[in-house]
Amino acid sequence: MKISSNQSKAGFTLMEIMLVVGLVGTLAALAVPGFARARARTAEATCINNLRQIESAKSRWAMENKTSASALPTDADLFGPGLFLKKKPECPAGGQYTIDTVNNPPTCDQSGHVLN
């Protein structure tokens, strides 16, 4: 009885697998900081948009109530069902908003989150 040695060995060698894993790891190491920067920019843009909404609600409150520029609205004046905004926006980066007076823009305590 003769055993045929024409069997082909399919599969990858250890070196080929290690090379692919190394390349994927290198690409991931290059991509992760870019994703982190994009996420931070998105959080900042969302926060600034939230500040614009608060400023708009504050202006409408001042006009509707005929208040002076130094009036200070509270959360209860601006946020809630039937008011200017349904709920107080939250900073996606974990910052806290300060409404301030009518003539001053609202602020966020996160660095770079400034309404221009």
Asked if the model's pLDDT at residue 2 lies above 90, the reply is no
Residue 93 tokens read as 């980066």
Contact of 47 with 92, CB cutoff 8 Å: yes
pTM: 0.76
Work out the average pLDDT over 47-51: 97
pLDDT value of position 46: 96
What angle is formed at CA 71 by the lines to CA 94 and CA 101, rounded to 5 degrees?
Answer: 30
19-38 pLDDT, tens digit each:
999 999 999 999 999 999 99
88-108 pLDDT, tens digit each:
999 999 999 999 999 999 999
- By CB atoms closer than 10 A (0-12, 13-18, 19+), residue 97 is buried
Contact of 85 with 54, CB cutoff 8 Å: yes
pLDDT value of position 7: 64
Work out the average pLDDT over 1-20: 79
Alpha helices in the chain, H assignment, sequence order: 14-65, 75-78
Instruction: Provide the residue ranges of all domains of the chain, joining segments of one domain with +.
Output: 18-108
Phi, psi of 63 (to 5 degrees): -65, -45
54-86 pLDDT, tens digit each:
999 999 999 999 999 999 999 999 999 999 999
Asked if the model's pLDDT at residue 51 lies above 80, the reply is yes
